[in-house]
Amino acid sequence: MHPKLKIGITDCKKYKNYEHWLLNAPQGVKVIQLSYHQNNLEDVDQCDGIVLSGGEDVHPDRYKRPDLVQHLNEHNINITRDDFEWQVVKRSIELRKPILGICRGLQLMNVYLGGSLIHDIPSIKDFHGHGSKENNDGRHAIHVTESSLLHTVTKNTAGEINSAHHQAVEKYADELVVTATSDPGIVEAMEWAAPAGKPWLLLVQWHPERMPDQENPFASGIRSAFLHQLAEQK
């Protein structure tokens, strides 16, 4: 019997969605909650892979735009979480842990590596097609770069995904490359520009863990590829 894969998931208000998504996978999985409440950074060491979950806005101090704080909802910023997950990312990269970043997870990684964020898509882009409506995820098309990891994972150059965010990548980090976009030019996925010598990394702006159509390759395909990578490295 194969040992269970240990996956660390960063804590958030909808943590159970991520937990259920991974525990329902065909492979044996054990999840470890990586939480700023517990400050259990040391648990990263025993994980086979890391999921950076969604949630609050990354504080604009992190991308050198403190002036933007006045334009954000203070209840949707959590400095303690930012500080803790900054260390989770640092430790995960040092230990070469495969990383799957989802929504805020993509944004956090981009900022960690030197990128910046659009603090509010409706204000900056005058576009309202990416947020949730009445607590229901939106849905829209994306376009995927051929020969990217995401293309390898999903075997598609286009698809439909769910959407529930008001921020997005502005300047992307030099070490990352954009591998999927949606109208009007919103970054939907990123990965290493030069992956050699780096841990496996896939960053997506949507929420595969709660897509109702889990047979969609932009949901199930991502989970399968992530778990396959962990099993390969175990």
Q: What is the pLDDT of residue 136?
A: 83
Q: What's the maximum distance between 2 C-alpha atoms anywhere in the chain?
A: 54
Could you give the CA distance from residue 66 to residue 142 in angstroms, rounded to a whole number?
Answer: 31
Neighbour-count burial for 25-50, b at 16+ CB within 10 Å, e otherwise = eeeebebbbbbbeeebeebbeebbbb
One DSSP character per residue, 57-121 reads BPPGGGGT-GGGGGGS-GGGB-HHHHHHHHHHHHHHHHTT--EEEETHHHHHHHHHTT--EES-H
Is 47 part of the annotated catalytic residue set? no
Q: What is the pLDDT of residue 132?
A: 72
Considering the candidates 47, 103, 130, 191, report the single residue annotated as catalytic: 103
32: alpha, beta or left? (left if phi > 0; alpha if psi -120 to 50): beta
CB 179 within 8 A of CB 145: yes
pLDDT tens track, the chain, 234 positions: 567 999 999 999 999 999 999 999 998 999 999 999 999 999 999 999 999 999 999 999 999 999 999 999 999 999 999 999 999 999 999 999 999 999 999 999 999 999 999 999 988 876 666 667 767 898 999 999 999 999 999 999 999 999 999 999 999 999 999 999 998 899 999 999 999 999 999 999 999 999 999 999 999 999 999 999 999 998
Q: What is the pLDDT of residue 60?
A: 97
Considering the candidates 19, 175, 191, 209, report the single residue annotated as catalytic: 209
Is 207 part of the annotated catalytic residue set? yes
Q: What is the pLDDT of residue 42?
A: 98
Could you give the CA distance from residue 164 to residue 137 in angstroms, rounded to a whole number?
Answer: 5
Residue partners of 177: CB distance under 8 A and separation at least 6: 145, 148, 190, 191, 192, 193
Q: What is the pLDDT of residue 128?
A: 63
Q: What is the pLDDT of residue 125?
A: 75
CATH architecture of 5-233: 3-Layer(aba) Sandwich (3.40)
What is the reported pTM? 0.96
